[in-house]
Amino acid sequence: MSLLADLLTTVFERRFRKDGLSMDLQNRSIEDLSRDLIASDAEHTIRALSQAIVQRFDTLDDAAKLEFFKFLATQMDIDAAAVRAALADYEATPSKASYGAFAAAAEPPRQEFIRRLNAVPGATGALVNMRADLLRLARKDPQTQALDMDFRHLFASWFNRGFLVLRPISWETPAHILEKIIAYEAVHEITSWDDLRRRLAPPDRRCFAFFHPAMPSEPLIFVEVALTHGVPSSVQGLLAETRAPMAADQADTAVFYSISNCQSGLASISFGNSLIKQVAADLSLELPRLKTFVTLSPIPGLGHWAKGQGINLTDRTGDELKAIAAHYLIREKGRGDAPLDPVARFHLGNGAQVFQLHADADTSAKGQQQSAGVMVNYLYDLSKVAQRHEDFTAGTLAASKDIKTLADAARSLLPNEKV
């Protein structure tokens, strides 16, 4: 059946190119094509229009893309009057039919538009790139924010954990994938192929990535792992060119030292929580001696926050830096009373514990700018992550005794209003 479907698709696509229909579509505006796509019930027409729209969008400049997004936001929005009428009917006479009518009225046509575009082979990746353009061009535009919510709603279903494939990334992985690992690394820059080899080839190094079947050559997110004795205190030690590798089966600790999201069009679609837990579970089965699962994480918001408080981190001792960082991580809150720091918010919300802090842990220019070189270990105790996640949603942050002691010590180091 699969072979027959492929043959029929090939025949259709050749006929589509020969009969001149493609030329007719090329002469029409993307807005007109979009209206026809929503109006059509014929499968072959939907396919042809979807392909034409995907191809056309890719040729638009930024101004034309923004106008197209505004068209979708305004011309394919819900009919508020129809929604109110359908809701009134459902309230008056609850039934399968009245509920179906309300659900249909409450869904904007642009959601079906996005679904139909996704019928074209390769369109999933194109739609992810389309949302990346939307976020880049119109993130704060009130007209398009509802459109972005529609993209997020559909992507949350299409990219849920059940569809994702976890694949190990090794030095033997095809070069076109490895090139993307180099390009997408967002925490600790990969400076060369030799640098990449040091992260993938030794027996005490691992890398894993999530892929989606519709985007088999595009990693969605990946994590780099170091297998070590004990909890490391600096990233330069983990990445040193001269370090001596160890046998994997001798390690007692797995260190997640870099987690990079790869697709800007999938922003706010969470993969990292599933990735870390899946990798930890798989490694614990492969290497039974592993007992500790920690990160070695940056503190990206510390420097900016400290500057806003009038705190000069460069004048502080290592112990003072750790105390200030501990206060920042567990006591400075952002929206919804969650941790202000985005990395802390992610790991603590994922069921981790703030475990240890290290000064002089990242001597790179980026590490110094972000946090004066301070880094943090978040501990993933697999027996406690579920409970800690529940505690986090209830407003309780998991922190070790040492971290709490450090945070208390920060009182004498902070401005009066922070004491």
Query: Per-domain residue ranges for the chain?
Result: 2-158, 164-418
> What distance in Å separates the CA atoms of residue 127 and residue 70, rounded to the nearest whole number?
16
Calculate mean pLDDT across residues 283-288: 95
pLDDT at residue 336, rounded to an integer = 82
- pLDDT for 229-285, tens place per residue? 999 999 999 999 999 999 999 999 999 999 999 999 999 988 877 899 999 999 999
List 212, 327, 347, 358, catalytic entry: 347
**Residue 347 among the catalytic residues:** yes
**Residue 260 among the catalytic residues:** no
> Phi-psi bin for 310: left (phi > 0), alpha (psi -120 to 50), beta?
left
Calculate mean pLDDT across residues 125-136: 97
More confident residue, 14 or 89: 89
pLDDT at 12 exceeding the cut of 70: no
pLDDT at residue 3, rounded to an integer = 53
pLDDT at 8 exceeding the cut of 60: no
pLDDT at 331 exceeding the cut of 70: yes
List 34, 260, 297, 371, catalytic entry: 297
Q: Where are the strands (E) in 79-170, listed by range?
A: 165-168
- pLDDT for 203-237, tens place per residue? 999 999 999 999 999 999 999 999 999 999 999 99
Q: DSSP secondary structure string, 192-222? A: SHHHHHHHHSSTTEEEEEEEBTTBTTS-SEE
Q: Which fold has domain 2-158?
A: Butyryl-CoA Dehydrogenase, subunit A; domain 3 (1.20.140)
pLDDT at residue 232, rounded to an integer = 94
Comparing CA positions, the residue from 275, 284, 399, 405 lying closest to residue 341 is 399
- Structure-derived torsion over alpha carbons of residues 240, 246, 252, 257, reported in degrees to the nearest 10: 30
Tell whether domain 164-418 is in CATH 3.40.630.150: yes
Q: DSSP secondary structure string, 266-302? A: GTT---HHHHHHHHHHHHHHH-TT--EEEE-B--TTH
pLDDT at residue 295, rounded to an integer = 97
- pLDDT for 153-167, tens place per residue? 999 999 999 999 999
- pLDDT for 349-377, tens place per residue? 999 999 999 999 999 999 999 999 999 99
Residues 6+ apart with CB under 8 A from 166: 208, 209, 210, 275, 278, 279, 282
- pLDDT for 378-416, tens place per residue? 999 999 999 999 999 999 999 999 999 999 999 999 986
pLDDT at 417 exceeding the cut of 90: no
